[in-house]
Amino acid sequence: MTLALGVVCVAFGCLVGGATGFGYALVSTPLLLLAGFSVPEVVFVNLVVGLVTRGTVTWSLRAHMVLPRVGLFALGSIPGAWIGAEVLHMLPLHHLKLGAGVVVALCGIAMLVPDPEGHHAPSRGATAATGAVGGFLSTTTSLNGPPPALLLARAGVPPLVFIADLAGYLTVVSAVSLIILGARGQIPHSVLWPALPIMLAAGLSGNAAGLWIARRLPVRVFRFAVIALVIIAGALTALTA
């Protein structure tokens, strides 16, 4: 029963993630926790599913990607992910979940605040720092999408560029996080078989459907969906801590 619920959670999360570019972990994390999976299991499953599904989107939308920006996101994520793995055993998981939920919700609220200077490209330092915050959240809670999503939303990039840049970043940060967790012996073997392959298949199906939706969403609807998703998912994560 737990596995069946997990498959539904992953498929739905990937549907939302495919449509918004980053919402998979935001949706699946609270749902998988409610379904009975532990935090380490949820982090691992989300990172693997995110690596595979975002990797397919990266290839599909590669022509829309701004490579220098994605590179800065990725470079910043490496030290952030390492620090997150170090902290994972130092702080209670309850505090990590609560803190991550609050940060995510605040990111969504910040998206609602109009920029008095209008849309502008973020600096190199801000981009790398945002990647570091995402990397930290990746190895602790797998909620690695909101920080770069906030940066890109404030920059006012078009939806397909938004999705492509996030896909490239999330592919790298998921791979880096898995390598770090594996090197530290923090991979939960309880979900490797048969849960992981089944969830991956469900995730790929949901992701394909979500990407089909994303290509047809008006810009205003896309932006509203992203903001609403961030706020709701952050609140759910904090409330289930």
Say if residue 118's pLDDT is above 60: no
pLDDT range class, residue 123, cuts 50, 70, 90:
confident
CB 25 within 8 A of CB 237: no
pLDDT range class, residue 24, cuts 50, 70, 90:
confident
In the predicted model, what is the mean pLDDT of residues 190-202?
86
Provide the b/e sequence for 18-46 (b: ≥16 CB within 10 Å): bbbbbbbbbbbbbbbbebebebbbbbbbb
**Nearest partner of 140 among 77, 197, 193, judged by Cα:** 77
CB 178 within 8 A of CB 77: no
Say which residue, 91 or 177, is predicted with more confidence. Answer: 177
pLDDT at 128: 92
pLDDT at 70: 93
Segments making up each domain of the chain, as ranges: 2-239
pLDDT range class, residue 90, cuts 50, 70, 90:
confident
In the predicted model, what is the mean pLDDT of residues 82-98?
77
98-111: pLDDT as tens digits: 777 777 777 777 77
Say if residue 13's pLDDT is above 60: yes
pLDDT at 150: 81
Distant-in-sequence, close-in-space partners of 96: CB < 8 Å, separation ≥ 6? 39, 87, 88, 140, 141
* Type and span of the H or E element at 185: none
Say if residue 155's pLDDT is above 90: no
Give me the count of residues in the chain: 241
pLDDT range class, residue 241, cuts 50, 70, 90:
low
125-134: pLDDT as tens digits: 889 999 998 8
**Nearest partner of 41 among 53, 56, 28, judged by Cα:** 28
Say if residue 180's pLDDT is above 80: yes
Q: What whole-number percentage of the chain has pLDDT above 70?
A: 94
Give whole-number Cα distances, 124 to 42, 65, 73, 128, 130, in Å.
Answer: 32, 16, 9, 6, 10
Say if residue 147's pLDDT is above 90: no
- Positive or negative torsion for Cα 44, 22, 118, 157: positive
